[in-house]
Amino acid sequence: MHDRHVHSVFCLHGSGRRTEDILLERIEAGASRVTFTEHAPLPPGFDDPSPLRDSSMAMEKLMEYRAEILELRARYAGKCDVRCGLEVDYIEGYEEPIRQFLDQYGELFEDSLLSVHFLHGSCVDFSPEEFERLLSEQYQGDLEALYRDYYRVVALAARWDGGAHKPRRFGHLDLVKKFRDQFPLESDKANALAIAILPDIAAGGMGIEVNTGGLKKPCREIYPAQPVLEAAKALGIALSYGSDTH
C-alpha cells in the first residue's frame, strides 16, 4: 500500500509525534511506500487566518523538513520507500506567489498535493466556530452558497496554470463537509456540487485522493464521498490513497 498523504513533526497542528514514529505507524498499518506531504509555507502576503496561525510550516523550515525526509528515506531503504512531497494550498488571488514558490522549489518535492483549505481568507476546516463565522460573514448563512463557492475555487485550482511543478492531484476534495454534523447540507446536494466540477479536474489533468482522514473527523466519512469517487472513476480521474496522518 502506498500512503501518499502523511504529515510530519513539521506540522504545527499535528500530534507532535516524531516523524520517524509517524513513519513506523504507517509501516505498521501496511504501507510499503509513504509520501510525506507537509503543509507548504503559505505565500508571502497571505496572513494565516487560523486563530492559532498553525496552518503550515514556516519557509525557514522547508529545507530542514526535506532533509529529515531524505534521511528517513535512506535509513528505511529496503523496508519502506519514503518519498518527499508537500501539501500545497491553492488560494484564490495568490496564484502568482504560489506559482513562484513551485517554480523555485517544486522540483525538490517529487509527489505533492494541491488542497483548498481557505475561502475568502478564512480556513474552512479549522473549527466549527470559524466555519460559522465564514458562513455568516460571506454567505449570509446560506450553506449551499458556501459549498458552491468552495467548488468554484477547486475548479479554478484544477484549471490553474501552476507551471511545471504544479501538484497533479487534489487533497480531500470535499473538505468543506468537515463540520456537516453541525452544518448539515443534504448529502445528495453536497455530492452533486462536487460531481459538477469533476470535468474541470479531468480537463486539468488532475487526480484526486481517497482520504481516510475524514473518518476520524466530525463528518465521519472519507474524502470525497463514495458517489463522488464513483463519478470520478467513470471520468478516468486517477485515484490515490492517503491517510492524512498528522
Q: How far is the CB of 36 from Zn ion (least distance, A)?
A: 12
Q: How far is the CB of 127 from Zn ion (least distance, A)?
A: 13
Residues in Cβ contact with 65 at an 8 Å cutoff, skipping those fewer than 6 apart: 8, 10, 38, 57
Q: Which segment (108-116, 128-136, 153-161, 211-219) binds Zn ion by CB under 5 A? A: 108-116
For Zn ion, give the closer residue by CB, 140 or 228: 228
Residue 87: beta bridge partners? Answer: 39, 113
Residue type (1 letter), 211? N
For Zn ion, give the closer residue by CB, 37 or 191: 37
Q: Which residues of 182-212 are buried (b: 16+ CB within 10 A; e: fewer)?
A: ebebeeeebbebbbebbebbbebebbbbbbb
Q: How far is the CB of 79 from Zn ion (least distance, A)?
A: 26
For Zn ion, give the closer residue by CB, 52 or 203: 52
For Zn ion, give the closer residue by CB, 19 or 115: 115
Q: Please report, as residue ranges, which positions from 142 to 181 form the binding site for Zn ion (by CB under 5 A).
A: 171
8 binds Zn ion (CB under 5 A): no
CA geometry: angle 50, 51, 57, nearest 5 deg: 50
For Zn ion, give the closer residue by CB, 14 or 227: 14
Quick one: cell of 182?
Answer: 453541525
Count CB-CB contacts under 10 A for residue 172. Answer: 27
Q: How far is the CB of 174 from Zn ion (least distance, A)?
A: 12
Q: How far is the CB of 226 from Zn ion (least distance, A)?
A: 20
Contact (CB, 8 A) for 157 and 205: no
Residue nearest to Zn ion (CB): 115
Nearest-CA neighbor of 8 among 31, 42, 32, 40? Answer: 40
Q: Which segment (40-48, 64-72, 110-118, 184-192) binds Zn ion by CB under 5 A? A: 110-118
Q: How far is the CB of 74 from Zn ion (least distance, A)?
A: 26
Q: How far is the CB of 45 from Zn ion (least distance, A)?
A: 21
For Zn ion, give the closer residue by CB, 15 or 136: 15
Residues in Cβ contact with 178 at an 8 Å cutoff, skipping those fewer than 6 apart: 124, 125, 131, 214, 217, 218, 219
**Which stretches of the chain are DSSP H helices?**
19-28, 62-75, 95-105, 128-139, 143-159, 187-195, 198-203, 226-234
For Zn ion, give the closer residue by CB, 171 or 224: 171
Question: Total number of residues binding Zn ion (CB under 5 A)?
Answer: 2
Cα separations in angstroms, 218 against 20, 132, 154, 214, 245: 28, 15, 22, 8, 16
115 binds Zn ion (CB under 5 A): yes
> Footprint of Zn ion on this chain (CB under 5 A)?
115, 171
